[in-house]
Structure 1
C-alpha cells in the first residue's frame, strides 16, 4: 500500500511540472527556443525536489515538448505539441497498468504504426528518426538520456503514420511508459544492442518496406518485454538489498 501511495505522489509531482510548463507555453511565458530556468531555481519555484523536477522534464522531453541539450540546458522545442486535457486525463488512467498489458497494447498499435510510417512517412520524419538513433548510440552509457531518445523515436514513428488520432494515443502511452521505465532503466544490460534494433526499424521504414517495418517492430517489442522484465527484477532485488542494509540485517 505504501509503494502505491508513493507512486501516486511521484506521479502527482511529475504532472505538476508538466502542467506548469504547459501553462507557461500557453500564456507565452515560454516560447519555442527559450531556455527553461535553471534546475535549482525552477525546483524552488515549484516547491518540489530537483529529482521530481527532473522526472517532469524527462516526461516533457519524451513528448517532444522540451529538448535537453547535455551540458547546455533544456529548451522549448520548435512547434511543441499541445498537451490537451484529454491527453492528460488518459495519461492518469494509464497509471497502474501491468507491464504485460502495456506490451500487448504496444504490439498491436506500434506494429501497425511502423507499417504506416513506412508507407506514409515524409523525409522530415526519416531525418528525425535517424537523429534519434544517432543519439541512442551516443547515450547508451547514460540510461536516462538514452531513454528520452528511445521514447522520442517511437513518438516520431507515430507522427509519421499520418494519423493524428493514433499519434495522440501513442504520445500518451509513451509518457506513461516513460514514467515506469525511468525507474528501472539504470539496470538495463545492453542498450547498445537495443539501439541496433531501433536502427533496423529505421532502415525498414526509410526503405518503405511495410512488411519488414511491421515485423522488426514486433520483434523489438517482444525482446524489449523480456529485457525490461529482467530490469524490473534487478531493480527490485537491489531495492530489497538496500532495505536489508539500512536495517542492519
Structure 2
C-alpha cells in the first residue's frame, strides 16, 4: 500500500512540475533564456520534495526544454523540433500502414498552409519555393533525390504560410513524410506519364501561389494529391498483374 501511494505521489509531483512549466510558458511568465526559481523556492511553491523536483527538471532537460547549469540553476531553452519529431515518429511507427495515415495529415496541413501562403508569402518565400521546384525538376528520375526535392518543395510552401503551428506540426511528422515521398516515388517511377505529370502538377501549384489565388491553390494541391494517388494505384495494379516472360 505504501509503495503504491509513493508511486502515485511521484506521478502527481511530476505532473505538478510539468503543469507549472507548461502554464508558465503559455501565460508568458517564463520565456526562453530565463531562469527558473531556485530549487528550494520552486519545491516549496509546488509542494513537492526537492529530489522529485530534480528528477522532473532532468526529464524536461532531456526533452530539450531546460538547460541545467551546475551551480547556476535551470534555464528555459528554445524548444527543438527534432524532439517532437522523434516522439511522433516513435509513436506512429508502431501503427500498421502509418504512411498512408500520415498522408491524410499531410493533406490537411498543406491545404490550409497553401491558402495562408497565398496571402502571407514574401518575395523571398516565393523565390525559395521556385528554387525548390527547379531542384525537383532536376531530380525527376531519381527516387531518393527526387523524393527529397519533392519534400523540400512542399515544406517550403508550409513555411511560407508563416504559421508556427502548421510549420511545427509538419516538421514533427517530417521524417515520416520523407519516407512516404520515397515510397511513393519508388512505386510510381516507371509509370508512363509520371515525369510529365510531376512537372506540370508542381508548376501549377507554384504558379497559383504566385498569383495569390487561395481557392485555385487549394484546388490544384488537392488535385495533385488525388492524381498522385491514382498513379500509385495504377502502378500497384500493374506490378501485381504483370506476368513473367517465358
The verdict on how the C-alpha distance between 1:192 and 1:136 changes in structure 2, with shifts beyond 3 A counting, is farther
Higher relative contact order (CA 8 A, sep 6+): 1
2:114 is aligned to 114
CA distance in 2, matches of 1:102, 1:228: 16
CA distance in 2, matches of 1:237, 1:98: 25
Unaligned runs of 5+ in 2: 1-78
1:214 is aligned to 218
Task: Tell me the TM-score normalized by structure 1.
Answer: 0.56
Structure 2 residue matching 1:227: 3-state secondary structure = helix
The verdict on how the C-alpha distance between 1:162 and 1:139 changes in structure 2, with shifts beyond 3 A counting, is same
1:49-128 correspondence runs (5 A): 82-95=80-93, 96-128=96-128
CA distance in 1, matches of 2:202, 2:128: 13
Structure 1 residue matching 2:173: 3-state secondary structure = helix
1:157 is aligned to 157
1:28 is aligned to none
Unaligned runs of 5+ in 1: 1-80, 242-249
Q: Residues 81 and 171 of structure 2 are in contact (CA less than 8 Å); yes or no, is this contact kept in structure 1?
A: no
Task: Tell me the TM-score normalized by structure 2.
Answer: 0.57
2:209 is aligned to 205
Over residues 64-92 of structure 1, what are the superposed CA-to-partner deviations in whole Å (9 max), with x where a residue is unaligned?
xxxxxxxxxxxxxxxxx954312210122
Structure 2 residue matching 1:84: 3-state secondary structure = helix
C-alpha RMSD over aligned residues: 2.7
Number of positions where the alignment pairs a residue of Structure 1 with one of Structure 2? 160
1:1-249 correspondence runs (5 A): 82-95=80-93, 96-188=96-188, 189=191, 190-231=194-235
